[in-house]
């Protein structure tokens, strides 16, 4: 209450209703006049006095401070926060959020895991253990690379599950893969540098490179992945998603992988490998990352634990030569200082106990079943509309459509379903006859309902 009273009096001074030297009522008289306690008025006067608006002169009472300039009385500011800043801001081009408007029941446009599968009781236990057993370390400033414990655990996972020969010194933990890509872009790119990206791809990664000053060059794709022969002559880095190309789910062929690595070594290029869903490969074993075959140190490998657990946990990582990790940490210390130590120690606990690996196997089995269920349902409910095949991995389906996909996308929203089209992943916003449907988040019954709504939208 006293804060509101202090604001009201200072506003009167600004507006000129009270001028320098004007005497204010006594605290008792003002309290009686306003119907508030005298302590409230005393506290308000103390606040105004500390800010220099009023002065108390003993028997002379309390008056408006004499140094209040007359000109300030002519400009009465609006109460509350201004709706617009009083200065110019740099324009930032923000890509559209693909999730669709509020109220959509099925967001098939977003490839995220099902949070209902997360072992929350086990995670909560790991949180409690992190706070109980490591209360000193998790509540202090620490290494911007992330906790030593989680970096060691992630390095072990990368060595044994992905064949990447790294130690903890080659790993940095980030707040999700997007922070990893942003830091990588700012460490690598000088304004005007060219960064090659896949012709259809991840807009948020493109924006990270552009914000760092890069000029993007789109490289075409085919059934074997990125067309390496189409890389521009002078390029600083190439950003790729070779395991399951985003968004087409195509796996880059062995020949293309070898060609890309050879090109990087020959020309001193950086390869930014975004392995965003490595765990979810359903046909055979996952393909080894480029980083597993990189003796020249050209690959910066980015991954995430958010796809395995839940996107809200914001846990990503970078694996790269030690000098790269040092530079990333220097930059991270400026903007973010460090990650959430409680989360990092809790997840390290899950890895060390094998809980994360057990959860991953369970999720992979369930998502594999949902992949088959979605494809079966699409073929049954939308015959002749979509040309769809089982993707080798990932948590989305990429399908060619025989209808106007942009009109379908808009009408689907009226039926409570958000889908993504090729236009959402094209550098120039071109329309192509493809849709992307995410399946991991929904059960068989939910997906059947969603697909039937899509059929009605036609």
Task: Looking at the structure, tell me whether residues 328 and 415 fall in a common domain.
Answer: no
* Residue 196 sits in the same domain as residue 221: yes
- The per-residue pLDDT for range 274-307, each reduced to its tens digit, is 998 888 888 777 889 999 999 899 999 999 988 8
Strand pairing category for 316-319 and 299-304: antiparallel
323 & 415 share domain: no
Q: Which residues pair with 317 in a beta bridge?
A: 173, 303
Q: What is the pLDDT of residues 219-257, one digit of tens each?
A: 999 999 999 999 998 999 999 999 999 999 999 999 999
Three-state DSSP state, 300: strand
Residue 375 lies in a domain: yes
Share of the chain above pLDDT 70, in %: 95
Q: Does residue 152 sit within a domain?
A: yes
Q: Are residue 195 and residue 259 in the same domain, yes or no?
A: yes
Q: Which residues have CB under 8 Å from 194's CB, separation 6+?
A: 214, 215, 216, 217, 232, 234, 235, 236
344 and 375 co-located in one domain: no
Position 411 confidence tier, pLDDT thresholds 50, 70, 90 = very high
Q: What is the C-alpha to C-alpha distance for residues 233 and 375, in angstroms, rounded to an integer?
A: 41
In Å, the largest CA–CA distance within the chain is 92
Please check whether residues 405 and 348 belong to one and the same domain.
Answer: no
> Do residue 230 and residue 345 come from a single domain?
yes
Give the contacts of 180 (CB within 8 A, at least 6 positions apart): 172, 174, 302, 316, 317, 318
94 pLDDT above the threshold of 80: no
Closest residue by Cα to residue 453 from 152, 101, 33, 108? 108
Instruction: Quote the pLDDT of residue 139.
Output: 76
Give the pLDDT of residue 73.
45
Q: Answer whether residue 98 is part of any domain.
A: no
Q: Nearest-CA neighbor of 226 among 198, 259, 192, 266?
A: 198
Distance CA 146, CA 166 (A): 16
Q: Do 335 and 369 share a structural domain?
A: no
Using the 3D structure, point to which of 314, 330, 353 is the last residue of a domain: 353
CATH of the domain at 373: 3.90.1150.10
CB neighbours of 285 closer than 8 A, spacing ≥ 6?
none
DSSP label at 42? H
Q: What share of the chain is helix, strand, coil (3-state, %, to 5)?
A: 45, 15, 40
Q: Which residues sit opposite 195 in a β-bridge?
A: 216, 237
Whether the per-residue pLDDT at 75 is higher than 60: the answer is: no
Instruction: Kindly state the helix (H) or strand (E) to which residue 240 belongs, with its residue range.
Output: strand 237-240
In the DSSP assignment, the letter for residue 69 is -
**Does the residue 348 lie in any domain?**
yes
- DSSP SS3 for 288: coil
List residues bridging with 272 in a β-sheet: 239, 300
My answer on whether 33 and 126 are in the same domain is: no
Q: How confident is the model at residue 70 (pLDDT cuts 50, 70, 90)?
A: low
Tell me how many domains the chain contains: 3
pLDDT value of position 98: 55
Lowest mean pLDDT among 159-173, 348-362, 397-411, 430-444: 348-362
| Residue span of the structural domain in which 268 resides | 118-353
30 shares its domain with 124 = no
pLDDT digits (tens, 9 = 90+) for 122-162: 888 888 888 887 667 777 778 899 999 999 999 999 999 89
């Amino acid at each position: 209450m006293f804060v509101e009273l202090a604001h009201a009096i200072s506003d009167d001074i600004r507006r000129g209703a009270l001028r320098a030297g004007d005497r204010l009522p006594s605290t008792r008289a003002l309290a009686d006049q306003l119907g508030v306690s005298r302590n409230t008025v005393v506290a308000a006067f103390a606040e105004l006095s500390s800010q220099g608006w009023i002065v108390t002169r003993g028997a002379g009472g309390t008056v408006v401070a004499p140094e209040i300039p007359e000109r300030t009385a002519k400009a009465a500011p609006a109460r509350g926060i201004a709706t617009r800043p009083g200065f110019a801001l740099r324009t930032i081009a923000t890509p559209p959020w693909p999730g669709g408007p509020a109220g959509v029941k099925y967001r098939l446009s977003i490839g995220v895991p099902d949070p209902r599968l997360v072992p929350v009781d086990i995670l909560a236990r790991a949180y409690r253990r992190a706070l109980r057993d490591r209360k000193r370390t998790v509540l202090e400033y620490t290494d911007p690379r992330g906790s030593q414990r989680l970096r060691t655990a992630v390095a072990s996972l990368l060595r044994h599950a992905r064949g990447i020969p790294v130690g903890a010194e080659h790993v940095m933990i980030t707040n999700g893969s997007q922070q990893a890509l942003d830091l990588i872009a700012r460490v690598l790119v000088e304004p005007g540098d060219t960064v090659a990206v896949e012709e259809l791809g991840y807009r948020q990664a493109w924006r990270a490179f552009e914000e760092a000053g890069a000029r993007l060059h789109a490289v075409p794709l085919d059934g074997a992945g990125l067309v390496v022969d189409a890389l521009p002559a002078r390029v600083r880095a190439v950003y790729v998603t070779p395991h399951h190309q985003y968004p087409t789910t195509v796996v880059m062929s062995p020949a293309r992988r070898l060609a890309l690595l050879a090109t990087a070594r020959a020309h001193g290029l950086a390869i930014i490998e975004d392995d965003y869903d490595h765990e979810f490969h359903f046909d055979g074993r996952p393909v080894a990352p480029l980083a597993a075959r990189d003796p020249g140190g050209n690959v910066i490998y980015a991954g995430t634990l958010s796809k395995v657990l839940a996107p809200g946990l914001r846990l990503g990582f970078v694996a790269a030569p030690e000098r790269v990790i040092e530079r990333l940490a220097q930059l991270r210390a400026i903007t973010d200082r460090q990650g959430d130590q409680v989360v990092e120690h809790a997840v390290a606990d899950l890895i060390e106990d094998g809980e994360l690996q057990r959860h991953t196997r369970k999720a992979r089995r369930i998502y594999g079943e949902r992949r088959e269920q979605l494809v079966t349902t699409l073929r049954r409910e939308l015959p002749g509309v979509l040309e769809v095949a089982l993707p080798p991995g990932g948590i989305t389906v990429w399908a060619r459509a025989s209808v106007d996909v942009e009109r379908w996308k808009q009408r689907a929203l009226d039926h409570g379903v958000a889908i993504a089209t090729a236009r959402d992943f094209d550098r120039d916003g071109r329309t192509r006859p493809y849709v992307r449907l995410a399946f991991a988040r929904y059960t068989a019954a939910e997906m059947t309902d969603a697909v039937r709504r899509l059929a009605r939208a036609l």
